[in-house]
Amino acid sequence: MRTHGPTTHEAQLIAGHVDYPQGLVSAGTIVLAGRTLNADEHTFGIVEFGGDSEAAALKIVHEDPAACHGVVSAE
């Protein structure tokens, strides 16, 4: 059974998802980040990394709390 809106655990992961990039911005690893303004199933975000390789960027993406727990998808 699916609930309306996030569960408590999912909300915590989303909070981590919002906080996670802040240190990366401060370190200069993230150059640009943002999301679309719509608030439906078509919402997405985009992040521009200033890193050494695609593998380094993917490592960062997959360490995002919400992405690694399947609350958001990342590619």
**Distance between CA atoms of residues 44 and 51, nearest Å:** 22
Q: Do 64 and 70 touch, CB atoms closer than 8 A?
A: no
**Distance between CA atoms of residues 44 and 73, nearest Å:** 9
What does R_g of the chain's alpha carbons equal in angstroms? Answer: 13
Q: Which amino acid is at 21?
A: P
Look at residue 2 in the predicted model and tell me its pLDDT: 60
Look at residue 21 in the predicted model and tell me its pLDDT: 86
Taking the chain (75 residues) in consecutive chunks of 10 residues, what is each chunk's mean pLDDT? 76 87 88 87 86 87 89 84
Domain boundaries, the chain: 8-68
66 burial (CB, 10 Å; 0-12 / 13-18 / 19+) is buried
